[in-house]
Amino acid sequence: MSIKAGAYALCLGAAVMLSGCEWSTEARVATAAQQRWDSLISGDAQTAYHYYSDAFQQTTPYEHFKNKVHGTGLWSRAKVNEVKCEASGERCQVAVDVTVTMKMRGLSTPVDTTDRVSETWVKQGWFSDWRYVKQ
């Protein structure tokens, strides 16, 4: 690789990294929260587990988590509705509209019901991912 090509590659890499900085904190948290819910709904406990805080993962082994996840099969969709972050930029509150689909005796079609869930997300250091705090 020539010096010119190497310099070009370095500049391109720096541009890609800097463009990531344009994402707001709220957008990053919303993306992480949506991905966690999408994983839970699809039954991908392994991916969902990744989004939980380090403290949760240290006290709750994955096998235990996997066996305790309730709602898979009932949850039909989730949509992050709002993200509000503290001025420190290390803690955010997320409002998620979660829809459950249930078959009801006497009704020919399943019934959807949606409830708003409040979540806390934290960033545990400069290079940390955003993590969900189970309460």
- Which pTM value belongs to this model? 0.78
- In the prediction, which pLDDT does 3 show? 55
Q: What angle do CA 96, 135, 49 make, to 5 degrees?
A: 75
- In the prediction, which pLDDT does 16 show? 42
DSSP designation for 128: P
58 to 62, 66, 93: CA distances (angstroms): 9, 15, 23
For 46-94, what is each residue's pLDDT tens digit?
A: 999 999 999 999 999 999 999 988 777 789 999 999 999 999 889 999 9
Q: How far apart are CA 58 and CA 100, in angstroms?
A: 30
Q: How far apart are CA 66 and CA 46, in angstroms?
A: 8
Q: Is 97 exposed, middle or buried (0-12, 13-18, 19+ CB in 10 A)?
A: middle
For 101-128, what is each residue's pLDDT tens digit?
A: 988 888 889 889 999 999 999 997 777 7
Q: How far apart are CA 135 and CA 36, in angstroms?
A: 16
